[in-house]
Amino acid sequence: MTSPNGLPPAPPTAPPERSLPPLRLNGRDLGRFAIMAVVNRTPDSFFDRGATYGFDAALAAVDKAVQEGADIIDIGGVKAGPGQVVDVAEELRRVVDLVAAVRERHREIVISVDTWRAEVGREVAAAGADLLNDTWGGPDPRLAEVAAEHGIGLVCAHAGGLEPRTRPHRIAYDDVMADVLAHVTAEAERASALGVRRDAIMIDPAHDFGKNTRHSLEITRRLDEMAATGWPVLVAVSNKDFIGETLGQPVEKRGVGTMAVLGVSAWLGARVFRVHDVAGTRDALAAVTALSGRP
């Protein structure tokens, strides 16, 4: 195969050499790449339409994800998008018992809970959670305090100042990545100052949260700028709307696009990948590792 000028195509540029900042949760060093499996105890999830809402179904999904090689299980009790109201009591009902059961069943797995509420964070930490995944960018500043108090980790994300479970309307940024970087690094430093271990903090650009498709594509292209901050980067792109809009595909046909975005994200320095397809992601990350020529 040749390039348009008749010469062999140039090999891809290797990702820049960086010393990996430590990332430790539940006593584990998560290494270069870690897979976070999505398990939603919601009846209205955009992807699985409630397939893991029942307790037994959720626990079975956890077992399957662990068997396929997940490093982290991310348990959610509230659909990200607009939908039925889920108050604190109902969110607690959905997630606390599951966290406790997973902790008993899988001692070495890292348990994450997707919540923005400090009240929920406090209860799941007591039940055995290792990480609080705040995808809404810190609307409740007490959540970082909870993580510090319980000695667990925190994901600091960017949602453009949106209220939880709302969608952006004609949102605009002078420079979307600059906005992301300013927010997530400030949140990470604040969490550290409160006492959250620096090796238990991640930053997340939060694709589609407070962003349109153009914004989500741009932050993907520029993920190396996030990696250069020295904070471990989490990406949650699995089957998201920006992939669907780019490819013109419904949610059930976004798997190939998801793997492409995950591969680019890993090449540019992302460390943790929140996904629905654990086995496929494991293979994609193995391919990236082989291409990079680094262990």
pLDDT reading at 282 higher than 70: yes
Residue 168 confidence (pLDDT):
87
Better pLDDT: 1 or 78: 78
Using the predicted structure, report yes or no on whether residue 178 has a pLDDT greater than 50.
Answer: yes
Range list of H helices, 25-175: 55-68, 88-105, 118-127, 142-150
Bridge-based pairing state of the strands 131-134 and 153-157: parallel
pLDDT of residue 12: 55
Question: Which residues are registered as beta bridge partners of 233?
Answer: 203
Specify the 3-state DSSP secondary structure of 291: helix
Say which residue, 1 or 289, is predicted with more confidence.
289
pTM of the full predicted structure? 0.93
Cα separations (Å) of 273 from 14, 115, 233?
20, 17, 9
DSSP 35: E
Alpha-carbon span 152 to 24, nearest angstrom: 10
Q: Cα separation of 147 and 48, whole Å? A: 29
Q: What share of the chain in percent tops pLDDT 90? A: 88
Cβ-based neighbour number of residue 32 at 10 Å:
15
39 has pLDDT over 60:
yes
Q: Which residues pair with 39 in a beta bridge?
A: 75
At residue 19, the pLDDT reads 80
pLDDT above 80 (res 18):
no
Give the C-alpha distances (Å, rounded to integers) separating 155 from 31, 39, 209. 17, 17, 14
- So what's the pLDDT on residue 163? 94
Closest CA to 120 of 162, 159, 164: 164
Taking only the tens place, the pLDDT of each residue in 223-233 is 999 999 999 99
Give the mean pLDDT of 70-96. 96
pLDDT tens string 190-224: 999 999 999 999 999 999 999 999 999 999 999 99
The residue with tokens 């952006």 is 168
Kindly report, residue by residue over 237-258, the tens digit of the pLDDT.
999 999 999 999 999 999 999 9
Residue 43 has pLDDT above 90, yes or no: yes
CATH number corresponding to 30-292: 3.20.20.20
- Look at 140 and 84; give whichever has higher pLDDT: 140
Q: Dihedral through CA 63, CA 66, CA 70, CA 73, nearest 10?
A: 40
